[in-house]
């Protein structure tokens, strides 16, 4: 039944917006909205053949939306999974009167059956490319040693190490996954590589286990076992055992991590590592919407240290983050600071300056592109030189802002225009259909609107003088974009009841008599209305709830 209902409704139809009700609307609210629209669109109320045909189509749309939302089963499917849930094959075997939780479980079962047929076609590739650059000749140059060497006037910058790693996942069954990974490394002319195969099985909702086999040209075979288990809803443990075979014999290793949720945003970790570089580590990590804070303490051989780091997350569309950390131990002291920012839909660019004793000054540049990571650590000097710190800090900022203004921003603007144009072309037929339906709805509303206005005028109530919906452009040089605003005065007046107009938190493009005049762009609703003989004006965002009249909308007569 659900699939049959879904087939008759356009893909972009929002049932709640069509009925202008809240997502939490009761059966009484749904019934009241349905009755009101039925009275408006009922075919028997229109004698003109053309209007009668248009009314039949809109009446059927309203009826289909009400039939889905008034049935607890189909409404639960729609609320959880949208129209794709209604289109899912197999719902006819679902018993009536199931709870939303049972419906979710049934949907997931049907989805798993469909996904299992495509398991062999799915992978999850991940990769890292790291290129180490030695640029110490820029700041630690010994001029007297190069006086007789041709071409010695230019600093020598060279690549001294590289690392490449890649992994892919191959689901074997719904619970088993094979993971193949490999890496190659080279430093100062010497290098090697290894390859690993891991088999992971999800044993239950509480845990999984993984067997690992590996081999390399620098080290012998590796056998490992990793187990993850949820002990309680707020606590889990991970244990990793490994046997590394080499010419020096067998080197065993064991790592255990115990973690617990201290509160909604805070995790505590306790790690014990035995074998190569034995150590005990404890850390607390707090991650919120605006910040990420970590404090850690490690006691071990050969390194013991204490570390504190903080990251601030700006709530902007570029997901800008600034971070700083302090790490001190037997190896010395390191201070790091940096920032990262989203430069495109799938790319994040970051830079970090590292200043340490005795490590010196380094600049680390990282680019994340989807599941691939490109890392470029640039070692500038072995000493603490102010000039190296200055150029490592200011240089990337100047280069980034210049590139962002001259290259990235124009590229993203052109890319967005191409995507919008592609979206407009792909939805052109749907939008044309919606436009025709909206125009038909407006014609059907005329008689009802006339009666509503007469009633509101008699009581000095709410009269919508003008209403526009779409993208508003104030720049005089872009007047041609004004075609992206449509007149919705009649549809809004038709929604007025007892001198009140209430719009829910949903895209207004789904309201009766509305359509989307600018697909993919931000839209607003601007309303000029009269209440008790006084003009009011308000502008609301597309998905913003609106309730009028309000005193704050009143236009100051002296203004």
Which pLDDT value is given to residue 153?
A: 64
| Encoded tokens for 242 | 């490994």
Same-domain check for residues 265 and 335: no
Residues 376-396: tens digit of each pLDDT? 999 999 888 999 999 999 999
Which pLDDT value is given to residue 34?
A: 84
Same-domain check for residues 438 and 544: yes
Indicate the pLDDT class of residue 59, thresholds 50, 70 and 90: confident
**Distance of alpha carbon 546 from alpha carbon 84, whole angstroms:** 29
Quote the crossing angle between the two packed helices 409-426 and 428-458, to the nearest 10°: 80
Residues 448-496: tens digit of each pLDDT? 888 889 999 998 999 999 999 988 876 554 555 555 889 999 989 988 8
Residue 464: count other Cβ atoms within 10 Å of its Cβ: 24
Tell which wins on pLDDT, 227 or 408. 227
- Sign of the dihedral through C-alpha 428, 433, 436, 441: negative
Least confident span in 158-162, 383-387, 509-513, 527-531: 509-513
* Domains in the chain, number: 4
**Distance of alpha carbon 294 from alpha carbon 92, whole angstroms:** 51
In this prediction, residues 278-293 reach a mean pLDDT of 94
Residues 231 and 238 sit within 8 Å (Cβ to Cβ)? no
Check which CATH number belongs to the domain holding 64 and give it. Answer: 1.10.287.110
Q: What percent of the chain has pLDDT over 90?
A: 37
151 has pLDDT over 70: no
Same-domain check for residues 314 and 363: yes
Same-domain check for residues 176 and 272: yes
Same-domain check for residues 369 and 440: no
Same-domain check for residues 437 and 546: yes
Same-domain check for residues 449 and 549: yes
Which pLDDT value is given to residue 18?
A: 79
In this prediction, residues 30-44 reach a mean pLDDT of 81
For residue 120, being part of any structural domain is answered with no
Residues 294-325: tens digit of each pLDDT? 999 999 877 899 999 999 999 888 889 999 99
Which pLDDT value is given to residue 421?
A: 79
In this prediction, residues 74-96 reach a mean pLDDT of 60
For residue 155, being part of any structural domain is answered with no
Same-domain check for residues 264 and 319: no
For residue 247, being part of any structural domain is answered with yes
pTM equals 0.61
Domain encompassing residue 452: 432-553
361 has pLDDT over 90: yes
Residues 424-445: tens digit of each pLDDT? 777 777 788 888 888 888 888 8
Parallel/antiparallel/unpaired status of strands 176-187 and 126-134: unpaired
267 has pLDDT over 60: yes
For residue 314, being part of any structural domain is answered with yes
Which pLDDT value is given to residue 92?
A: 45
Tell me the helix, strand and coil percentages in the chain, rounded to 5.
Answer: 35, 40, 25
For residue 346, being part of any structural domain is answered with yes
Write down the mean pLDDT value for the chain. Answer: 83
């Amino acid at each position: 039944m659900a699939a049959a209902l879904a087939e008759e409704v356009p893909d972009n139809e929002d049932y709640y917006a069509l009925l202008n009700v809240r997502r939490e609307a009761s059966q009484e609210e749904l019934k009241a909205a349905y009755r009101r629209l039925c009275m408006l669109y009922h075919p028997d109320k229109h004698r003109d053949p053309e209007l009668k045909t248009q009314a039949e189509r809109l009446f059927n749309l309203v009826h289909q939306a009400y039939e889905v939302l008034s049935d607890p089963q189909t409404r639960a499917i729609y609320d959880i999974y949208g129209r794709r849930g209604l289109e899912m094959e197999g719902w006819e075997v679902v018993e009536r009167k199931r709870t939303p939780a049972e419906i979710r479980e049934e949907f997931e079962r049907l989805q798993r059956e469909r996904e299992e047929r495509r398991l062999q076609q799915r992978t999850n590739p991940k990769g890292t490319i790291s290129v180490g650059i030695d640029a110490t000749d820029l700041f630690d140059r010994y001029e007297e040693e190069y006086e007789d060497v041709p071409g010695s006037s230019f600093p020598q910058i060279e690549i001294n190490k590289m690392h490449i790693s890649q992994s892919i996942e191959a689901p074997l069954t719904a619970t088993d996954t094979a993971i193949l990974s490999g890496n190659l490394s080279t430093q100062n002319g010497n290098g090697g590589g290894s390859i690993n195969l891991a088999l992971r099985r999800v044993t239950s909702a509480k845990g999984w286990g993984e067997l690992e086999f590996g081999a390399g040209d620098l080290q012998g075979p590796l056998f490992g076992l990793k187990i993850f288990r949820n002990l309680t809803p707020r606590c889990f443990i991970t244990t990793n055992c490994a046997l590394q075979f080499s010419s020096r014999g067998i080197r065993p290793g064991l790592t255990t991590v115990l973690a617990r949720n201290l509160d909604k945003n805070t995790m505590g970790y306790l790690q014990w590592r035995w074998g190569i570089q034995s150590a005990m580590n404890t850390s607390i990590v707090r991650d919120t919407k605006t910040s990420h804070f970590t404090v850690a303490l490690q006691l071990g051989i050969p390194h013991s240290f204490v570390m504190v780091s903080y990251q601030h997350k700006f709530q902007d569309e570029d997901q800008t983050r600034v971070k700083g950390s302090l790490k001190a131990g037997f190896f010395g002291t390191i201070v790091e600071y940096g920032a990262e920012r989203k430069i495109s839909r799938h790319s994040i660019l970051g830079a970090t300056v590292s200043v340490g004793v005795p490590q010196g000054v380094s600049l680390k540049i990282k680019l994340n592109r989807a599941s691939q990571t490109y890392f470029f650590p640039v070692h500038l000097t072995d000493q603490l030189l102010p000039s190296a710190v200055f150029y490592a800090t200011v240089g990337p900022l100047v280069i980034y802002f210049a590139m962002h203004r001259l290259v990235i921003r124009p590229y993203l603007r052109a890319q967005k225009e191409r995507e919008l144009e592609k979206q407009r072309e792909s939805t052109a037929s749907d939008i044309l259909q919606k436009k025709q339906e909206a125009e038909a709805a407006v014609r059907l509303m005329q008689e009802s609107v006339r009666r509503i206005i007469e009633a509101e005028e008699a009581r000095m109530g709410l009269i919508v003088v003008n209403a526009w919906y779409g993208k508003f452009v104030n720049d005089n040089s872009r007047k041609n974009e004004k075609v992206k605003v449509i007149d919705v005065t009649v549809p809004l007046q038709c929604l007025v009841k007892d001198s009140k107009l209430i719009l829910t938190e949903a895209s207004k493009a789904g309201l009766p008599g509305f359509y989307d005049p600018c697909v993919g762009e931000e839209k607003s609703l601007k309303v000029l209305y009269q209440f008790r003989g006084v003009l009011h004006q308000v502008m609301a965002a597309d998905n913003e709830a609106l309730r009028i009249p309000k005193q704050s909308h009143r236009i100051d007569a002296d203004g």
